[in-house]
């Protein structure tokens, strides 16, 4: 009979559970260790452990979440592991089991009594990571017996917004965000902040940590008191320049999308000369005015204003936006906007921490003193120090990008496309995306095409591989391939994450190669894109994409490369 038992529970993530069970089976075979497996969870099926096997077993490994039927094991030695641990390093999990020591997950040490949790999740685009993090928190809280309400925030605003009574009744506020979140409404509550990745990877551990380490949020926003910042210590460590930049990008994107589409529609209705003065009064001219002189004019101020907001909360918005407008007027573009945002944000935060007023005059700080002083400092630095050299750098960069051809276009396309597939929505992916989106405000729209096509390729290539090489995938994976195709068509690169997590050494290089090919073909064939999102759904919009045929060829080539490499490199599924 088997000496080891393993129960794998995936909750709603049946694909991950199946992959983890198979990894355990193969590892046990390599070690010549008899093992009996049971797979539990919604959408999963497996043989239940026989009573005789439980009676004779020496240990049991409990993997995942949900109801694992733990009561039937009595005093049998146990070890615990997350599904991600098994998929990442199955040998380490077996070593833990063999060591003879109970290894409870961090969630096991959370308070036993049910808690009321309110949470906010947010990522720069407010699409995949926002909702994946929300699902991770909801699933973990349900498994731990806590009540939870999650508000999701993105470029389209907040969904399922938290109400004042819900916030008042909550034991803690959990913020899992890659962008800045306004905390003024959480004054007097215990708050814990982290990024979306923590909620996606280990929701139970995150909730346990939040319950233990959440800190009181003072009144008055992020920098409310002279005694210290309102951010929890863990959040303060994670809120670096990247997060501030991503906050600015997330608020900037709607201006880029709206402006780009309106300009494209202007050309569609009025032709290539629609925005010339002689066509004033026509529909095409009006749409062009709205898109180019209103929406696009606000891109840099919005970027700078919300970078400053992420750093210094609401008092930073006015100095940041004014600095961004100066950057635009000085022809410093998005680079100047980034500089203005950081100058305004850190100046405002410094002044807020060091200016001391009588309590009766504290109300003057956010509406008079901070905006006036921070705007003055930011404006003078932009006019006399930062603006001119940054404008020169931007002009040189713009000319180089517009004049790209041959080898330079090929290399840049390879780099931008490949970056989109390296971490599928992580920092490298977002760095490429944010750079391309910002360049749109300076009239450089070729990099955006390489970035979007490179980001669509991974899930589309995976979907193709599940059809061309079905033997390389389990039945749940083949079923998930259809969903990956839909996500890829909508430019949601995260649709490939489950497949990459299951076999990273083979899948990720295949995806990077396909995305690099797509990006290189796009730039060398002159494909441009005026909007930063939408996937295949923007192709029918007149003038949104230049050289639609080239874009389709690039996407097809990248998808084919990824699909073939994945199918050839992956081993046959059990």
Which letter does DSSP use for residue 40 in this model? E
> Active-site residue 123, yes or no?
yes
Residues pairing with 36 in the sheet: 5
Q: How remote is the C-alpha of 227 from its chain's centroid?
A: 33
Are 6 and 38 spatial neighbours (Cβ–Cβ below 8 Å)? yes
Integer Cα distance of 224 and 185 in angstroms: 12
From 20, 44, 123, 480, active-site residue = 123
∠ at Cα 76 (74, 79), nearest 5°? 115
Q: How remote is the C-alpha of 187 from its chain's centroid?
A: 27
Classify each residue of 456-471 as buried b or exposed e, where b means 16 or more C-beta atoms within 10 Å of its C-beta: bbbbbbbbbbbeebee
DSSP string for residues in 383-409: IIIIHHHHHHHHHHHHHHHHT--THHH
Return the closest-CA partner of residue 413 out of 513, 492, 557, 518.
518
Are 156 and 250 spatial neighbours (Cβ–Cβ below 8 Å)? no
Most distant CA atoms of the chain, gap in Å: 89
Query: Sign of the C-alpha dihedral, residues 103, 104, 105, 109?
Result: negative
Integer Cα distance of 146 and 211 in angstroms: 11
Q: CA 487, 203, 146, 156: dihedral to nearest 10 degrees? A: -40
Supply the residues annotated as catalytic: 123
């Amino acid at each position: 009979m088997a000496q080891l038992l393993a129960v794998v529970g995936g909750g709603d993530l049946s694909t991950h559970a199946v992959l983890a069970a198979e990894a355990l089976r193969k590892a046990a075979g390599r070690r010549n260790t008899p093992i009996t497996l049971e797979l539990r969870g919604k959408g999963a099926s497996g043989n239940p452990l026989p009573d005789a096997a439980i009676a004779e077993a020496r240990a049991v490994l409990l993997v995942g979440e949900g109801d694992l039927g733990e009561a039937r094991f009595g005093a049998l030695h146990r070890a615990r592991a997350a599904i991600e641990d098994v998929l990442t390093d199955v040998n380490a999990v077996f070593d833990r089991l063999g060591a003879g020591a109970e290894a409870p997950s961090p969630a096991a040490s959370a308070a036993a009594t049910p808690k009321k949790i309110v949470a906010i999740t947010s990522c720069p685009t407010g699409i995949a990571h926002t909702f994946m993090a929300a699902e991770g928190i909801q699933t973990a809280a349900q498994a731990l017996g806590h009540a939870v309400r999650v508000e999701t925030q993105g470029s389209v605003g907040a969904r399922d917004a938290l109400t004042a009574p819900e916030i008042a009744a909550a034991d803690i506020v959990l913020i899992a965000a890659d962008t800045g979140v306004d905390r003024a409404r959480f004054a007097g509550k215990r708050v814990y902040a982290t990024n979306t990745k923590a909620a996606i990877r280990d929701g139970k551990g995150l909730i346990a940590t939040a319950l233990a380490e959440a800190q009181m949020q003072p009144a008055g926003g992020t920098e409310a008191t002279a005694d210290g910042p309102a951010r929890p210590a863990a959040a303060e460590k994670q809120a670096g320049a990247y997060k501030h930049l991503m906050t600015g990008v997330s608020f900037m994107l709607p201006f880029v999308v709206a402006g780009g589409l309106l300009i494209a529609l202007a050309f569609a209705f009025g032709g290539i000369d629609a925005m010339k003065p002689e066509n004033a009064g026509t529909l095409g001219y009006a749409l062009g005015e709205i898109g180019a002189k209103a929406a696009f004019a606000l891109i840099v101020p919005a970027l700078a204003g919300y970078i400053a907001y992420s750093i210094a909360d609401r008092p930073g918005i006015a100095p940041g936006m004014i600095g961004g407008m100066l950057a635009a007027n000085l022809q410093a573009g998005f680079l100047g906007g980034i500089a203005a945002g950081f100058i305004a944000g850190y100046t405002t935060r410094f002044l807020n921490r060091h200016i001391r007023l009588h309590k009766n005059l504290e109300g003057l700080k956010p509406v008079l003193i901070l905006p006036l002083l921070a705007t003055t400092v930011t404006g003078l630095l932009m006019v006399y120090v930062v603006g001119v050299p940054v404008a020169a750098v931007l002009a040189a960069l713009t000319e180089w990008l517009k004049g790209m051809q041959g080898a330079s276009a090929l290399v840049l396309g390879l780099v931008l496309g490949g970056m989109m597939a390296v971490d599928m929505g992580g920092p490298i992916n977002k760095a490429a995306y944010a750079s391309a989106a910002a360049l749109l405000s300076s009239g450089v729209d070729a990099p955006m095409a390489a970035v979007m096509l490179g980001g669509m390729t991974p899930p589309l290539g995976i979907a193709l591989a599940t059809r061309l090489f079905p033997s390389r995938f389990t039945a749940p994976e083949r079923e998930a391939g259809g969903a990956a195709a839909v996500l890829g068509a909508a430019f949601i690169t995260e649709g490939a994450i489950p497949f990459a997590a299951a076999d990273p050494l083979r899948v990720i290089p295949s995806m990077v190669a396909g995305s690099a090919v797509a990006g290189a073909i796009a730039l060398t064939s002159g494909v441009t894109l005026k909007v930063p999102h939408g996937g295949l759904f923007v192709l029918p919009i007149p003038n949104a994409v230049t050289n639609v045929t080239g874009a389709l060829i690039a996407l097809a080539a990248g998808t084919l490369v990824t699909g073939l490499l994945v199918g050839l490199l992956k081993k046959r599924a059990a």
